[in-house]
Structure 1
């Protein structure tokens, strides 16, 4: 499965700067020619949201330090929704500012909303095959979700989404999708599953939100 199968793609850790349409065409299909990008810092980070303009219309966008939020209208159904694409910090000391960034975004949001991407954090010991977590990490993450009043879209086919690719691997669940009450009301049958992994150390995720929203992938 490749990005050519999708009409909305959310990429994290692009490690790219100043993306042009020509550059975008070198790694995404021509149908995904419309995009919003947060540049990498040095060789770290970078967030890209790209979509098929024949199926989705851009209504609004907000770019922050660790997130790209885009409001779309579906051409076929006139359904309007927000998609926030995130790449969370690795360092625990930076997580509070990341969580606050999304909290501060909330007043801007109206209607269905998903928050998706690489959070670089876990919710419980079950999210690491080693079982090693800190109470601070898991508690702050879960408190933040409670404050946002969002639910997690369950991953149906896999316990972990990232591997360090070693012979005795460390496995974690750091790639996630969350949704608000309006999303659940509009798209109650949304499903999340993984796609085949190629060279990445992450398993790509696919959000199936029924025929109302074009195919969406997180890579």
Structure 2
């Protein structure tokens, strides 16, 4: 399974124990480090509810934005070993965590978004959220239910509000964030009617800084299950290429310094058995090659530059 970093889900209410158990099982299955929940419809989240969501002995921390009546409600939770929080900003439509990704040593903002389905209210939220993020001036990961599509292709049928699409794309462009391709499903929401319509309302948006840290990052959708929204996951692709092979080239034996180091390594480990002797020679060989490769690369780059200059000069002379 891929390594899940962030999991986001518009859960459409967390009043029933079965829904809390479903969330807990998905977090356990994916081993997500950050959880964004939208539309919890909860006015209060306490330790008991947190235990039902993450397990009684979970180390997850959490914060929430209360619902207004049965509308809204956002919950953000995180593993403190993965993310160290410095501050938070809680709004009716989003929660911003400011802190540091521990392993990557990156200060950033994590934003759980639950946008209004009213165009004017959603646009106001985009402006407010954008201004807050500009003030923090940090790389950002936004995830959640944006309640708007970014293109006509993200809706299966029916009319599309092109002004809302344009406003959403302006928000994405001004924040300079990237919307990765979605794997697992083309859409993330359905109205479950006799003639259903589908839309992609849920997504992650992230700054380009994270693409340099997580090279194989992707976002994917899981089956809807108990909600009319798909859970979406921001994950790192686990590709196993097997053990890295050790390469040895004949020309290495032409260097006397290299040969002397291998002979010395052989003599030191020859009485410890063939396996340890070969391992010792391998380590010495790799260290010697690495110590020489920097100079070799610089020499090759210099030589390439000289050849290129000769070619360019020859073309001009002609």
TM-score computed with the length of structure 1 as normaliser = 0.87
Deviation readout 1:89-132 (Å, 9 max, x if unpaired) = 01112122111121111234344311110000111111111052
Q: Is 1:37 matched up with 2:37? A: no
Shift of 1:71: 2.5
Q: Is 1:187 matched up with 2:211? A: no
More helix as a share of residues: 2
Structure 2 counterpart of 1:120: 147
- Give the alignment partner of residue 25 of structure 1, picking from 51, 71, 81: 51
> Residue 142 and residue 101 in structure 1: after superposition, are their counterparts in 2 closer, same or farther (change >3 A)?
same
Separation in 2, partners of 1:183, 1:77 = 10
Structure 1 counterpart of 2:41: 15
Aligned residue for 1:84, secondary structure, equals: strand
Q: Which runs of 5+ in 1 are unaligned?
A: 212-219
Separation in 2, partners of 1:179, 1:156 = 16
Given that 1:111 and 1:183 are in contact with CA atoms closer than 8 Å, whether structure 2 keeps it comes out as no
Separation in 2, partners of 1:210, 1:61 = 30
More strand as a share of residues: 1
Structure 2 counterpart of 1:80: 107
Aligned residue for 1:167, secondary structure, equals: coil
Separation in 1, partners of 2:137, 2:84 = 16
Given that 1:47 and 1:68 are in contact with CA atoms closer than 8 Å, whether structure 2 keeps it comes out as yes
Moved over 6 A (4+): none
Q: Which structure has the higher relative contact order (CA within 8 Å, separation 6+)? A: 1
Structure 2 counterpart of 1:217: none
TM-score computed with the length of structure 2 as normaliser = 0.62
Aligned residue for 1:116, secondary structure, equals: strand
Given that 1:112 and 1:184 are in contact with CA atoms closer than 8 Å, whether structure 2 keeps it comes out as no
Separation in 2, partners of 1:32, 1:164 = 36
Radius of gyration: which is bigger? Answer: 2
Aligned residue for 1:80, secondary structure, equals: strand
Aligned residue for 2:149, secondary structure, equals: coil
1:33-112 matches, cutoff 5 A: 33-112=60-139
